[in-house]
Amino acid sequence: MPEQASMREAYGRTLLELGRENPDIVVLDADLCASTMTKYFMQEFPRRSFDVGIAEQNMIGIAAGLAASGKIPFASTFAVFAPGRCFDQIRMSIAQSKLNVKLVVTHGGLSVGEDGTSHQAIEDLSIICSLPGFTVIVPADAIETAAAIRAVATHKGPCYVRLGRPNLPVILDEDYKFEMGKAVTMKPGTDATIIAIGIMVAPALEAAEMLAAENINCRVLNMSTIKPIDQKAVIRAAEETGAIVTAEEHMEHGGLGGTVARILAENRPTPLELIAVRDTYAESGKPAELLERYGLTAKDIARAVGKAIQRKNS
Amino acid sequence: MYNIVTVMTSSDSNKKSSQTSANNAGVFHSHEALENVAKRLRRHIVTMIGKAGSGHPGGSLSAVDIVTMLYWKILRHNPSDPYWPDRDRFILSKGHAAPMLYSALAECGYFPVEELPTLRQIDSRLQGHADRTATPGVEMSSGSLGQGLSFGIGVALAARLDSRDYRTYVLLGDGECNEGQVWEAAMAAPHFHLDNLVAIIDKNGLQIDGPTREIMNTDPMEKKWEAFGWHVIEIDGHDFGKLTEAFNQARMVKRQPTVLIADTIKGKGVSFMENVAGFHGKAPSQEQMETALKELE
């Protein structure tokens, strides 16, 4: 069993380090600093911290005003509340305005678990990817989280980083170098490609192992930057493996699967299977139970790979 | 001394009527000259919207005197350097009044007055609603109501972090105060003790569907803002003397933000537009435009 670590903890600690390095970094939260882990920064830098209370729309506007005045605001809440609660504010005050705001949201996807539907963001990637100019990143573990947070801090322009609630297996090396907009080949392979994001990268690797036992050699790509997506890596996977499965903890519409489908349709039509939530809301339950019920496990991925390969060969 | 915009008292509206001037603060006091500026802005507004064939004359005309006062007497700004870090910020939250802002910016010299008739046309820098990425001097993209005060809080907080003494002014409509985000921001600004922030409510009493009192009553406006922790000043938004006093008073207020609740007349200056909700978002016809311009001579 690989070591487990918290992405949120990695975010909070990295943000604190960045705060020590760069006085222009400011932090906003909407009454969730102990959950998003902005609390470490807030404790050390109270003057540069703004807890706006339970008012996400206002938080987005304030962040935009700070960015328009030269600050680098990190604004955090749960993924259901931003962009869910404040799409129009993000659209006008950040995206259209081309302002340098970093939205780092936590509790993405079904793995929120027991809190249920109201707290399970499964539409956020689709919403945020529809906004021109946004860079959208879904890290796969705590190490990639820390690296991605450093990258967005120096990137000029609006960024969205989506983190999960539970501890996740650490799958990247300590010296991992994050490159924005570049797919990471987690495992080479020639028979099919699994393209995964966030908490689905670990089960994708597990699925590839299961398939290896059946002599199926599966490539696994971690597409942590979902926008701008590494289009070349997708086309190369289509050319070299001829069968693709996407895996995301998100609705089937407009997220990773939808984006990959567009790239394939425009460039190289290829059998594609989506592992995603199928046009439904979920419910309360343990994260593992929910992932199983809504078809987001290693077994589901392996089955989908089998289907894609069958279509390729038919 | 700071760069400010001064106004020549020339009544020739074809002449460039403003200039930047270093070392020349607050030279301009005559209300008559301000009235002439305001009249020019009103003429621009009617002409621009008439030519464009669409736009929002009512709420542009109601706020002209407030904005004239700000750009010609109150704001510290330099049209040749729109991104000067120490400039006072004017944030137009009611973004549909963009023609009013464009007229003021052009008359100040941010861009040529000749550009005004391009309003709402393809390739124009003058977008239908205020757009910070398109027009020099526009601080914020607005048009979706309710967002400006939050933005202003961010700008005012940045001033404090950087120990800069610029001031931030946000203009909202009274109908706009139906939006919940306005009250999130109204709660936050006193919480952060932002005495460098001034909100101005252009209280013209009308929104698209009719009188604000009938559609969604925002009264008693002054009690609401007071209860949220603001220093409240109620004034006639067309009285330059009262506007001057109010803005000066706001500078003296410490550790809390100030709101000016400015009673105004929607469509002010054009008889057939005054207090008519129908002219919120409707352009005048050619004939109406000519009549309006005659009234504004």
CA distances from residue B35 to B97, B167, B219, B297 in whole angstroms, order as listed: 19, 24, 30, 12
Q: What is the torsional sign of CA B215, B217, B221, B227? A: negative
Domain endpoint, select from A138, A169, A200: A169
Residues A21 and A153 both lie in one domain:
yes
B141 with A89: Cβ contact below 8 A: no
Identify all chain B residues contacting A66, using CB atoms and an 8 Å cutoff.
154-155, 157-158
Q: Does B187 contact A at CB distance below 8 Å?
A: yes
Minimum-distance CB partner of B151 among A52, A53, A64: A64
B132: closest CA of chain A, how far (Å): 6
A90: closest CA of chain B, how far (Å): 10
Mean pLDDT score across all residues of chain B: 91
Q: Where are the alpha helices (DSSP H) in chain B?
A: 31-52, 57-62, 64-69, 98-108, 148-161, 180-191, 212-215, 221-228, 240-252, 286-295
Closest-CA residue of A relative to B188 is A52
DSSP single-letter state for residue B255? S
Residues A28 and A150 both lie in one domain:
yes
Residues A189 and A158 both lie in one domain:
no
Nearest to A135 by CA among A150, A164, A155: A155
A75 is a domain residue: yes
Indicate the residue type of A124: D
pLDDT 10s digits, A180-217:
999 999 999 999 999 999 999 999 999 999 999 999 99
> Does residue B1 or residue B52 have the better pLDDT?
B52
Closest-CA residue of A relative to B143 is A92
Minimum-distance CB partner of A92 among B141, B152, B158: B141
Using 50, 70 and 90 to split pLDDT, how confident is the model at A2? confident
B 69-98 residues inside an 8 A Cβ radius of A? 85
pLDDT mean over A39-66: 98
State yes or no: pLDDT of B9 exceeds 90.
no
pLDDT 10s digits, A227-270:
999 999 999 999 999 999 999 999 999 999 999 999 999 999 99
Minimum-distance CB partner of A62 among B131, B141, B153: B153
Quote the CA–CA distance of A44 and A58 in Å, as a whole number: 24
Nearest to B257 by CA among B222, B224, B229, B219: B229
A89 with B139: Cβ contact below 8 A: no
- Range of the structural domain that residue A93 is part of: 4-169
Please say whether the beta carbons of A60 and A91 come within 8 A.
Answer: no
A174 is a domain residue: no
Beta strands per DSSP E along chain A: 4-6, 25-29, 49-51, 72-78, 102-106, 135-137, 159-162, 167-169, 184-187, 192-196, 218-222, 225-227, 244-251, 272-277
A70 is a domain residue: yes
Identify all chain A residues contacting B192, using CB atoms and an 8 Å cutoff.
50
Q: Does A62 contact B at CB distance below 8 Å?
A: yes
SS3 A158: coil
pTM of the predicted model, to two decimals?
A: 0.94
Q: Does A52 contact B at CB distance below 8 Å?
A: yes
pLDDT 10s digits, B163-210:
999 999 999 999 999 999 999 999 999 999 999 999 999 999 999 999
A69 with B162: Cβ contact below 8 A: yes
Check which CATH number belongs to the domain holding A208 and give it. Answer: 3.40.50.920
Residues A14 and A144 both lie in one domain:
yes
Check which CATH number belongs to the domain holding A19 and give it. Answer: 3.40.50.970
What is the structure's pLDDT at A223? 98
Strands A135-137, A159-162: parallel, antiparallel or unpaired by DSSP?
Answer: parallel
Please tell me which residue in A9, A56, A114, A123 is annotated as part of the active site.
A56
State yes or no: pLDDT of B17 exceeds 60.
no
Residues A141 and A247 both lie in one domain:
no
What are the percentages of helix, strand and coil residues in chain A, rounded to 5? 45, 20, 35
Residues A119 and A230 both lie in one domain:
no
DSSP single-letter state for residue A271? -
Residues A120 and A267 both lie in one domain:
no
A179 is a domain residue: no
The rounded radius of gyration (Å) of the Cα atoms in chain B is: 18
Please say whether the beta carbons of A42 and A86 come within 8 A.
Answer: no
Q: Does B163 contact A at CB distance below 8 Å?
A: no
A56 Rama sector, left if φ>0, alpha if ψ -120 to 50, beta otherwise: alpha
Please say whether the beta carbons of A184 and A229 come within 8 A.
Answer: no
B157 with A92: Cβ contact below 8 A: no
Domain endpoint, select from A116, A139, A169: A169
What is the structure's pLDDT at B30? 84
Residues A24 and A136 both lie in one domain:
yes
A65 with B151: Cβ contact below 8 A: yes
Tally of structural domains, chain A: 2
A68 with B139: Cβ contact below 8 A: yes
Domains and CATH numbers, chain B: 28-295 (3.40.50.970)
Please say whether the beta carbons of B95 and B141 come within 8 A.
Answer: yes
A64 with B154: Cβ contact below 8 A: yes
A155: closest CA of chain B, how far (Å): 19
Residues A99 and A43 both lie in one domain:
yes
Can you give the length of chain B in residues?
297
DSSP single-letter state for residue A241? H
Residues A95 and A60 both lie in one domain:
yes
DSSP single-letter state for residue A208? H
B181 with A69: Cβ contact below 8 A: no
SS3 A209: helix
Strands B210-211, B206-207: parallel, antiparallel or unpaired by DSSP?
Answer: antiparallel
Calculate what percentage of chain B has a pLDDT beyond 70: 90
Residues A209 and A143 both lie in one domain:
no
Q: Does A92 contact B at CB distance below 8 Å?
A: yes
Using 50, 70 and 90 to split pLDDT, how confident is the model at B27? very low
SS3 B150: helix
Minimum-distance CB partner of B150 among A26, A65, A69: A65
Residues A286 and A146 both lie in one domain:
no
Q: What residues does B261 pair with on adjacent strands?
A: B201, B234
A176 is a domain residue: no
Q: Does B141 contact A at CB distance below 8 Å?
A: yes
Quote the CA–CA distance of A226 and A67 in Å, as a whole number: 24
A175 is a domain residue: no
A178 is a domain residue: no
B147 with A89: Cβ contact below 8 A: yes
Q: What residues does B235 pair with on adjacent strands?
A: B262
Q: In degrees to the nearest 10, what's the CA dihedral of B11, B69, B93, B191?
A: 170
Calculate what percentage of chain A has a pLDDT beyond 70: 100
Known active-site residue A56: yes
Which helix (H) or strand (E) segment holds residue A49: the answer is strand A49-51
DSSP single-letter state for residue A299? H
Indicate the residue type of B216: M
- In chain A, how long is the greatest CA-to-CA distance? 64
Q: Count of CB contacts below 8 A, A vs B? A: 103
B155 with A97: Cβ contact below 8 A: no
pLDDT 10s digits, A74-99:
999 999 999 999 999 999 999 999 99
DSSP single-letter state for residue B88? P
